[in-house]
Amino acid sequence: MRRILILVCIAAQVLVLGVMAGEREFILSTGERIRLRTTPIDPRDPFRGDFVRLRYEISFVALGQIRADVRDHAKEKGYPVYAVLRKGEQELYHLDYLTDERPGQGIYLRGRVSNDWRVARGGGAVAVKYGIEQLFVEQGRGKDIERRRGTRNGLQVPMEVEVAVSPGGTAVIRDFRWSGLGMSLKMLRFHRRNRNTNLDEVTEPLSPKLEISLQNVSDVPLMVADPGNHCGFHLETTVRVTRQYRPVYEGCRDIRPYGDDFIELAPGEAYTVSLDLSEPRWHLSVDGHTGEIGRYANNDSFRIVYRAPTPALAIAGDRAWKGKLPSSAFTAFRVLD
Amino acid sequence: MVSANLSETVGAGNASSPHAAVKCSSRVQNPSSLPILSIKMSKHTRWLRDQIGTWLDEGLIDASQAEILRARYPAGDQDTPWGRIVVSSVGAIVFGLGIILFFAYNWADMHKLTKLVLVFGALLAAHGTGFYLSASADAKRSLVESLHVMGTMLFGAGIWLVAQIYHIDEHYPNALLVWGLGALALAWAMPSVAQALMAVLLVFLWGSFEVFDFSSANHFGPWVVLLGVLPLAWMQRSRVLLFFTLVAFITLFAFSAGQVEGDLVIAALFYLACLYLAAGRLITRSAFPESAPLFTVVGYSVYLVLIYLFSFHEIAGELAYLNPEGMTEWSYLIAPLIASLLSWAALLATGAWQRADGLRRWETGLILVAMLLVLLAQFGVPREDVGIVMFAFNLVFLGHCIIMIVRGTGRLNWKQVSLGCVLFSALAFARFLDLFDSLLTRSLFFLALGAGLFLIGNFYSHRKKLQGASHA
């Protein structure tokens, strides 16, 4: 009898590992395949070798994209949530909304609230982990991935991870690829300040001047478009920002690219623009004030987002780079990541 | 050092040894302290047995008396092969780590299925070999156990390696729980103390990570340890396992209580410590009396620290301001309180109080007074009057110090005397900082304290000389 019990216990240990592996194999072979954009960071585990920690676009969810009771549990680490996704350009999926009620249909990922310090500090978003934040790679390859991903002041190339999703929302990483287009951001000018600075007495521009580059990092030519007064680029707040900003510039409304607005980039070639955020083109309204971010944004953080005018780029066929590409985050006086 | 001292404090006085049934014609030791000695003297028993042989040769005792003495001081479990256990365990752990690191390289050329085959193969090979050898009549139990321990190590490694293969980044404490339950199941099936020790460690880590990394009260962790491991430790008569079980239970309970409501920790710990102290006294009459000192050592350590803390106004005040809100919060207070009260009621009902010697009675009385004081602070005394309770805690702590010193001096136990002096000095220094401002008073205080310790030391030396002279 005792020997039978021992056998049962051993079988249970084998079964646990079998279920772990079998469930993932089943999801890999039968699950819906989607792609998610992510930023890789490269730590190293002393026992498990190199792994790339992945921070997805959907890892931080703005409070405006939250439904049900998630807001009440935003700081409760481990609280189960579901990220409902919608398909975008280039097979990439983006967050539609976050809920704690299991959706009846559509593609969604099951996750848990985490207490990431970046969110805890700002309080304007919910940090979520989906169980796919680690990509284990052969020893030495972690550094290669980090190099390709780029640095704060250099070119940054997003990684696009392919995952298989089960009907219950469990995701398993299948593979990854690199975006064909990378972006770099340099702060050419910014106004140094401290808490005693009286902004009304400052005569020079308060907002930074940025140099943005879009670089083709693929092996084939790519086409981007930047019509009008750099209407391909948009100034957006990060998910951590709680205040509601609204662009006031009307010149980009309903604009369509023509002729020289289309830029074809050969492999390795870059399209560089200089954006002076103190100009009216970039003014925003917030809390009843309208003006440049250098005056009203305090420590709020922003990104420059390149959005491809998809319908207009249809003429370029496969050469057109579609979708949106965010820059590093920055405040009025420094680059953040 | 604390454990060595306290283990003698506990059992002496009210216990009867399992070997007490053996009638001895020559009284060589106070019978009241026999149970403790039978446990503590494992390293001296060999010497004593040699001496019995010499006395027999010299005609000081006859063969029947020698036999009685040998029966009275059994070898016990002193032959525990610690060297082999440690080496085998370290070997199993290092081997498991080697396997993990082998896969950590994460060979890109190695197919996923090959990795899985290796993970499962290693697990099955370790357990399978152990299982196969266990069927053989002349199989070494330690080898079989080592192989199964290695198998369970590989099971844990397998959880992390499968997670690596499939890039799984889940709620990692769950892996520790699953691993721990795997070890616990085998611990019962075999039965195996080594597997159970692994289970205690893993469940402890599970509970701790839930609390400290996820700020989540782990209500089940302490009970998995208590209900899952303690009966096994009892059945296997394993003091090592029992010790770690007792420590893990009280620690996990405190962690979870602290997570539920920080103020609950000291009260929950206090009642659990009192429960351990009562259990230590009750168990001296059980089938496993050797376990009594473990309950008492753990209980006393926590109890004395808490009584010392309660001698400070701020911490005694914490008791008065305790105000649990929901059922969960109340359960962390009420469950240890009821268990503690019931165990002490059972102890008093057995009549142990009447059989104990004078010091033992004082000690028991002080513990009961301390329990009453905590109850008063929590439920009886107005918050503004908590200073009275704090003053009483000072007296209780002082009482324990004096009992330790008197008992240690009486038994010529320098460890117990030293511990009593250290605790007394700690109390004296704490009150010195609180009460005396004048440099003159401070100097007199130091003189009085130094003189007191000097006198104790001299008295102890005097007693020791007297005993040496009487032996000569």
Q: What is the pLDDT of residue B462?
A: 76
Mark yes or no for CB contact B189/A47 under 8 Å. Answer: no
pLDDT in tens, B442-458: 777 777 777 877 777 77
Is 60 exceeded by the pLDDT of residue A315?
Answer: yes
Where does residue A72 rank: exposed (0-12), middle (13-18), buried (19+ CB within 10 A)? exposed
Q: Provide the pLDDT confidence category of residue B82 given band limits of 50, 70 and 90.
A: low
C-alpha to C-alpha distances, B408 to B44, B57, B108, B304, nearest whole angstrom: 19, 35, 66, 17
Q: CA–CA separation, A313 vs A320, rounded Å? A: 6
Q: What is the pLDDT of residue B138?
A: 73
The two tokens of residue A118 are 């970046």
> For B192, which DSSP code?
-
A60-64, A201-205, A286-290, B107-111, range with the lowest pLDDT: B107-111
Name which of A18, A77, A141 is nearest B214 (Cβ-Cβ): A77
- Residues with Cβ within 8 Å of B431's Cβ and at least 6 positions away in sequence, in order, are B311, B394
Q: What is the pLDDT of residue B131?
A: 92
Q: CA–CA separation, A134 vs A48, rounded Å? A: 11
Is 60 exceeded by the pLDDT of residue B2?
Answer: no
User: What's the one-letter identity of residue B340?
Assistant: S
Q: Which domains are present in chain A?
A: 34-178 (no CATH), 181-326 (2.60.40)
Chain A nearest C-alpha distance from B422 (Å): 43
Mark yes or no for CB contact B159/A172 under 8 Å. Answer: no
Mutation target among A2, A7, A10 for the B interface, most CBs of B within 10 A? A10
* B107 interfaces chain A, CB cutoff of 8 Å: yes
- For residues A181 and A215, the answer to whether their CB atoms sit within 8 Å is yes
Q: CA–CA separation, A30 vs A128, rounded Å? A: 25
A89-93, A149-153, A262-266, range with the lowest pLDDT: A149-153
* B120 interfaces chain A, CB cutoff of 8 Å: yes
The full DSSP string for B233-279 is HHHTT-HHHHHHHHHHHHHHHHHHHHHH-TTHHHHHHHHHHHHHHHH
- Residue B142 is inside which H or E element, if any? helix B141-165
Q: CA–CA separation, B151 vs B201, rounded Å? A: 17
Partners of residue A49 in chain B, C-beta under 8 Å? 104-106
Q: CA–CA separation, B113 vs B115, rounded Å? A: 5
Q: CA–CA separation, B276 vs B281, rounded Å? A: 9
Length of chain A (residues): 337
Name which of B162, B168, B215 is nearest A77 (Cβ-Cβ): B215
Compute the mean pLDDT over every residue in chain A, rounded to the nearest whole number: 86
Name which of B128, B151, B166 is nearest A24 (Cβ-Cβ): B166
End-to-end Cα spacing for chain B:
30
Q: What is the pLDDT of residue A204?
A: 82
- Closest by CA position to A282, among listed A241, A324, A330: A330
For A2, the closest chain B residue by CA position comes to B189
- Report the percentage of chain B scoring pLDDT > 90: 34
Average the pLDDT over A321-325 and give the result: 87
Partners of residue A44 in chain B, C-beta under 8 Å? none
Chain A nearest C-alpha distance from B252 (Å): 20
Chain A residues with at least one Cβ partner in B under 8 Å: 2-3, 5-10, 12-14, 16-18, 20-21, 24, 45, 47-51, 77-78, 112, 115, 129, 131-139, 141, 172-173
The two tokens of residue A263 are 């830029």
Average the pLDDT over B195-216 and give the result: 91
Q: CA–CA separation, A211 vs A276, rounded Å? A: 9
pLDDT in tens, B411-432: 778 888 888 888 888 888 887 7
Q: Provide the pLDDT confidence category of residue B108 given band limits of 50, 70 and 90.
A: low
User: What's the one-letter identity of residue A236?
Assistant: E
Is 60 exceeded by the pLDDT of residue B19?
Answer: no
- For residues A263 and A216, the answer to whether their CB atoms sit within 8 Å is no
Average the pLDDT over B93-108 and give the result: 69
Name which of B97, B162, B171 is nearest A21 (Cβ-Cβ): B162
If you count residue pairs, one on A and one on B, with CB atoms under 8 Å apart, how many are there? Answer: 115
For B186, the closest chain A residue by CA position comes to A9
Chain A nearest C-alpha distance from B166 (Å): 7
Is 50 exceeded by the pLDDT of residue B4?
Answer: no
Identify which of B130-144, B367-381, B404-418 has the greatest average pLDDT. Answer: B367-381
Q: Which residue has better confidence, B260 or B84? A: B260
Side-chain half-sphere CA neighbours of A36 within 13 A: 28
Q: Is the peptide bond before B191 cis (omega within 30 degrees of 0)?
A: yes
- For residues A119 and A127, the answer to whether their CB atoms sit within 8 Å is yes
Identify which of A33-42, A93-102, B4-13, B82-91 has the greatest average pLDDT. Answer: A93-102
Q: What is the pLDDT of residue B17?
A: 37
Antiparallel, parallel or unpaired: β A209-216 and A181-189: antiparallel
pLDDT in tens, A25-79: 999 999 999 999 887 665 566 666 677 888 898 998 888 888 878 888 887 888 8
Q: What is the pLDDT of residue B361?
A: 85
Chain A nearest C-alpha distance from B78 (Å): 28
Q: CA–CA separation, B82 vs B148, rounded Å? A: 18
Average the pLDDT over B164-171 and give the result: 86
Partners of residue B107 in chain A, C-beta under 8 Å? 138
Is 90 exceeded by the pLDDT of residue B298?
Answer: yes
Q: What is the pLDDT of residue A119?
A: 60
Partners of residue B97 in chain A, C-beta under 8 Å? 47
User: Whose structure tokens read 């097979």?
Assistant: A91
Q: What is the pLDDT of residue B42?
A: 55
- For residues B404 and B425, the answer to whether their CB atoms sit within 8 Å is no
Antiparallel, parallel or unpaired: β A93-99 and A171-178: unpaired
What's the 3-state SS for chain A? Answer: CHHHHHHHHHHHHHHHHHHHHHHHHHHHHHCEEEEEEEEEECCEECCCEEEEEEEEHHHEEEHHHECCCHHHHCCCCCCEEEEEEEECHHHEEEEEEEECCCCCCCCEEEEEEECCHHHHHHCCEEEEECCCCEEECCCCHHHHHHHHHCCCCCEECCEEEEEEECCCCCEEEEEEEECCEEEEEEEEECCCCCCCCCHHHCCCCCCCEEEEEEEECCCCCEEEECCCCCCCEEEEECCCCCCCEEECCCCCCCCCCCHHHEEEECCCCEEEEEEECCCHHHCEEECCEEECHHHHCCCCCEEEEEECCHHHHHHHHHHECCCEEECCCECCCCECC
Residue B8 has phi, psi (to 5 degrees) of -80, -30
Q: Which residue has better confidence, A276 or A115? A: A276
Q: CA–CA separation, B419 vs B305, rounded Å? A: 13
Name which of A14, A131, A139 is nearest B124 (Cβ-Cβ): A14
C-alpha to C-alpha distances, B289 to A269, B12, B230, B235, B263, nearest whole angstrom: 82, 12, 15, 12, 35
Q: Which residue has better confidence, A237 or B413? A: A237
The two tokens of residue B449 are 């304290």
